[in-house]
Chains A and B, each alone.
Chain A
Amino acid sequence: MNLNLPCCFLAAWVVLFCHVANAQNDTTIHRDIDRIDIVAPAERNNTSAVQLLRGERLALLPTIDVAGALRLFNGLTIKDYGGIGGLKTVSVRSLGASHTAVEYDGVPVSNTQAGQIDISRFDVNSISELKLSVGQDDNMLKPAKLFASGAVLSINSFQENFDGNHRLKITLRTGSFGYFFANCNYTQKLPNRLTIKAEGEYMRNDGMYNFTLKNYKTITTEKRRNTDIRSGKLELALHYNDTVRKSLDLKIYGYLSERGLPGSVVLYNPRAEERLKDENLFVQGNYKYRIFSNLTTKIIAKYNYSFSRYSDINVMYSDGKLVQKSTQNELFLSWINLWQICEPLTFSVAIDENINTLVSNITDRQPTRNTIQAAANLRYNYKKLFTATIGEVFTHLREHTENGSHFQDLDRWSPFANVVVKINKKITATLMLKNTYRVPTFNELYYTTLGTTGLQPEDAREMDFGLSYSSKKWGASVNCYHNKIKNKIVAIPTLYIWKMANYGKVTITGVDLAADKKVAISDVLIDLSARYSYQKAQDVTDNKSKLYKSQIPYTPLHSGSGSVAIKYNDWAANVTAILSGKRYFLEYNIPDNEIENYAEFSASISRNFNIKDVDFSLKFSCINFTNCQYDVIKYYPMPGRQFQLNLSLTL
């Protein structure tokens, strides 16, 4: 596709906005507008850039996984290694995936070995809310670890709210490429405001989709291989809330998956033998107690076990195969206190302890990392017209290994500040400054010959200025930002092997635009949203290099998204568009290294109905209905047109 993306994108949405705006009947605008559970992705009452998708708006999207939903957000790079089952990571404003913390129901999800979280395992069926905060959001009652990150992706599962004592929800889904998904979710209310929930999930997919391979002037249709995945999830949760002072959430989560890794498409060589098995079990608890009307405390505890087994078959290995096994254990504790000192002043302090271990045959070091982090925040809020927050995170990290050298001791401060000024009832201005960093992962430090124990943390500075407009009918925002990364941790080629090193500086300058519109025409409720991002992310490491000021790989200068959600009684329809300008897949910005721009359109239609006290929800989705052939990661072709049928019944 040869699109002039920014122009096409903006023009299309301007036309659509104007058309719908003109068509609306003012006498009916206010009516039932709140019936649509739609929240503007760029929420305005926070202390920094926050994007949000939740409720029915999220459930009705054509996509089935979190990565698909996040692609509607601004300023994100979702690295998608191809279809269902492929690794998906999220990088916010080109900071890199390791600068994005992920929290699941308020508790951090971590992977100290790899540093980045694979978000492909989260299905939108089980999620009530997706929130992405750049810098800080307005929640001061959270672990220090989340204050220390450049961005936080919050994934919140459903908190059941229904009449009666119990509820059973069964979801079945099938679709293209041998896809099948089943989820069973049972919730029982108990005396004393206790609720228990049990959820089981199974997913399979063959994933052998066709794709178009362009080999210079030769164009062929090929089939993706070794793409199968089987996964299962079991979750038990207990929830207590006295509605006044105390709440308690306990959760046990188990996940298993076994999948093929199709790898990149290598011309003339279709062999793909890599397999990956994952096991994950965690137990987490979250207790909140309002001690006094102005003092709240929260305790979070988590134990996490994860195991991965990677294998490859090739005669280049002795015994003809490579098997890498890694086991990680994590213990996480956090104690947070929020104290409203007086009307305008609020203070919070959070102290975490995080112990991570790795036992693996990819290294003989067997590291143990003990991280203590403390975060203090002070917020001044003058009649909600002016809010200023300053904070500081202190990190004390000690690491030891069974054999050989280990990562240096680390004691580090990272400050942040933001200011929110409500110019009038509808317009808000925000300014955010934050210094953050990421600690090298176990792989970067210890992986066989690749790791380097002398690495320094990778530093990032974030600055964001935003203006937002919000009314009942309209929402719009503009955010301008400038980030700097130095001491970037990268793999560099030495004469013989690749080694991890602190090398490189990147500056990122960008603008995010967002617009949302809600319209009610008679009984038809329409929600429109449009996003556009401009992002210049340049390598400024060496001004004598050919790479100086080149755009870093996989970062489009222009990108955007849009969606239209329409609801009419029990019917709902949704159309989404994901647009990306050209990108480079290698550092050198020459035409040979370009990846073509693309536009992916998806649609869904759904209906809710009731038969004999059983609520049914039927959704039909067509993802990529124009059958656009594109790569997010070069030579990891994405699937073409896909169909999915989703049936949920609630008893």
Chain B
Amino acid sequence: MTNKFYKFLTLGALTLSISVAFTSCSDDDDNDDKQVTDPSTRKAFILNEGSWNANNSTLDVYHPYSEPTFLEKDVFSTVNGEKIGDTGQDLIAYGDRLYLSVWGSNYLAKLDSNGKVIEKYQFKADEGQPRHLAADGKFVYVSTYGGKVAKFDTTSISAPVAFAEVGNNPEGIAVKGNYLVVCNSQQTGSDGMSVSDNRVSIVDLSSFTIAKHITSEVYGNYQSVAVVKDSIYITYYTPSYSVEMLNLDINKGTLTPTGAATKMIATSEGELFCANVATVYDENWNATTNTSFFVRNVNTGKDTPLLDLSATPELATATVYLFDIDYASHDLYIGTTDYKTNGTIYHFDKDGKLLDKFETSSISPSKAVIF
């Protein structure tokens, strides 16, 4: 049972590892977000991951264009009469639907614009538990902790139409042209020791098989991916557990270091919005956190500060767990966590002015989709 306790902690760590796993929607998803143009009907779905084994993941709906603004808490439970379950993992909008992956409770759900479950797929034991989502054409892709990416037809997600075998415990995924870029992370061996996977898997979407693995002798344990026009950015964990960025060139098969960020947002204007939570620990793991926000110009590689934190000085030392954008208005949503209390969301306009700040209904808000 001792082992069980520590298993809990280990899996908790695994669950936490998703904290930097970026929104894996492709740039196509971004375009879909823009489909709804009437501001008065737009609302932000906020996924709270919850804590492991507590079945306390929730979905809130924030109404930024109402006067006054307000938050509907735990909408998923209200609408469906039952909870999301354990560790809501990822949420994307595609077409007129939302897709939700839930890691602990082991399912993918398709929701309508009110958060009502239309359809649900429960993953089987040999398929692995779902992680991150991407969408393209008529398909939704889900990475799983079974070394797979599952492909679902959006017409019906009652069963996956195909699986691609990738690397170890894939995390973030994103579509680039006819490829799906897959971040393989790390895997716990039968003896309990973790081994990082140093491969980024490139899946050919036509055949849904591996086109190639891009392997590095230096890097591994990849977490999230963002596609900005022709550039692909990947985050990974260093052996000392800091998070840094790499530039991926699929054709050359190279991974090149390009600074540090823990969260990334790709915009269709060719910018990469970044949040970087740089934490230094002393020998007893007391943390000193320095959080910054910047915009990367992908053409010049130059970084420009994104936010003036004078109105929200607490963000300079906060653990940013949610970093998303309203692609229509360019409003920013930043969510913070302490892993124990309900998360806090900061809503900024495109000029960096704080519009709102509120507490969510559960722990660790991880994803906002403005829909």
Contacts and interface: CB of A to CB of B under 8 A. Distances in A.
B partners with A: yes
A118 interface: yes
Contacts of B91: none
A132 to B, nearest CB: 21
Interface string B216-248: 000000000000000000000100011100000
Interface of B: 1-7, 9-10, 12-14, 16-17, 19-20, 51, 53-56, 77, 80-83, 85-86, 102, 104-107, 122, 125-129, 145-147, 168-169, 187-195, 237, 241-243, 262, 277, 279, 281, 283-287, 319, 338-342, 361-363
Interface stretch (A153-161, A381-389, A585-593): A585-593
A493 B242 CA distance: 14
B13 A498 contact: yes
B223 to A, nearest CB: 9
A492 B125 contact: no
Nearest to A89: B1
A503 B339 CA distance: 15
Nearest to B85: A267
A587 B340 contact: yes
A497 B18 CA distance: 11
A266 interface: yes
A253 to B, nearest CB: 19
Interface residues of A, number: 73
A392 B194 CA distance: 44
12 contacts: A217-B81, A218-B81, A267-B55, A271-B106, A318-B189, A323-B190, A362-B3, A495-B277, A495-B319, A585-B54, A592-B361, A592-B362
Contact of B9 (A319, A322, A450, A593): A450
A317 B125 CA distance: 12
Given A269-B85, A316-B145, A322 B190 contact: yes
Contacts of B340: 547, 586-588
B86 A494 contact: no
A495 B54 contact: no
A85 B193 CA distance: 28
Nearest to B51: A586
B82 to A, nearest CB: 4
Contact of A316 (B6, B128, B237, B362): B128
A323 B191 contact: yes
A81 B192 contact: no
Contacts of A547: 340-341
B339 A493 contact: yes
Given A495-B277, A592-B362, A87 B4 contact: yes
Nearest to B286: A501
B344 to A, nearest CB: 10
Given A267-B85, A449-B194, A495-B19, A635 B9 contact: no
A114 B85 CA distance: 30
A318 B81 CA distance: 38
Contacts of B2: 111, 113-114, 116, 308, 443
B188 A316 contact: yes
A291 B281 CA distance: 57
Nearest to A87: B1
Nearest to B76: A216
B4 A263 contact: yes
A310 interface: yes
Point out which of A87, A116, A118, A495 has the most chain B C-beta atoms below 10 A from its C-beta: A495
Contact of B3 (A81, A86, A265, A324): A324
Interface string A358-382: 0001100000000000000000000
B147 A315 contact: yes
B349 to A, nearest CB: 27
Contacts of B55: 215, 265-267, 635
Contacts of A162: none
Contact of B241 (A111, A263, A496): A496
Interface string A455-479: 1100000000000000000000000
B241 A264 contact: no
Given A317-B189, A317-B190, A454 B279 contact: no
Contacts of B81: 216-218
B192 to A, nearest CB: 5
A447 B1 contact: no
B187 A318 contact: yes
Given A362-B192, A495-B279, A452 B104 contact: no
B1 A215 contact: no
A452 B284 CA distance: 7
A198 interface: no
Nearest to B3: A310
Interface in A490-508: 491-503
B137 to A, nearest CB: 28
Point out which of A266, A276, A310, A493 has the most chain B C-beta atoms below 10 A from its C-beta: A493
B241 A216 contact: no
A494 B287 contact: yes
Contacts of A317: 187-190
Contacts of B20: 495-496
B235 to A, nearest CB: 11
Nearest to A218: B82
A225 B77 CA distance: 26
Contacts of A592: 56, 361-362
Point out which of B77, B83, B128, B319 has the most chain A C-beta atoms below 10 A from its C-beta: B83
A588 B363 CA distance: 10
Given A454-B284, A501-B286, A545-B338, 15 more contacts: A216-B83, A218-B82, A266-B104, A267-B85, A314-B125, A318-B188, A318-B189, A318-B195, A361-B191, A450-B9, A494-B285, A495-B19, A495-B20, A586-B54, A593-B56
A274 interface: yes
Contacts of B287: 494
Contacts of B339: 493
Contacts of B168: 318
A333 to B, nearest CB: 25
Interface in A243-292: 261, 263-269, 271, 274, 276
Contact of B146 (A264, A316, A324, A491): A316
A455 B192 CA distance: 22
Contacts of B169: 316
* In the A-B complex, the 6 residue pairs with the closest CB atoms: A310-B3, A114-B2, A87-B1, A267-B85, A316-B145, A315-B146
Contacts of A323: 190-192
Contact of A495 (B9, B12, B241, B284): B241
B7 A448 contact: no
Contact of A81 (B1, B6, B56, B241): B1
B281 A215 contact: no
Contact of B243 (A322, A450, A495): A495
A276 B1 contact: yes
A30 interface: no
Contacts of B341: 545-547, 587-588
A71 interface: no
B56 to A, nearest CB: 7
Contacts of B241: 494-497
Nearest to A589: B341
A536 interface: no
A448 B6 CA distance: 10
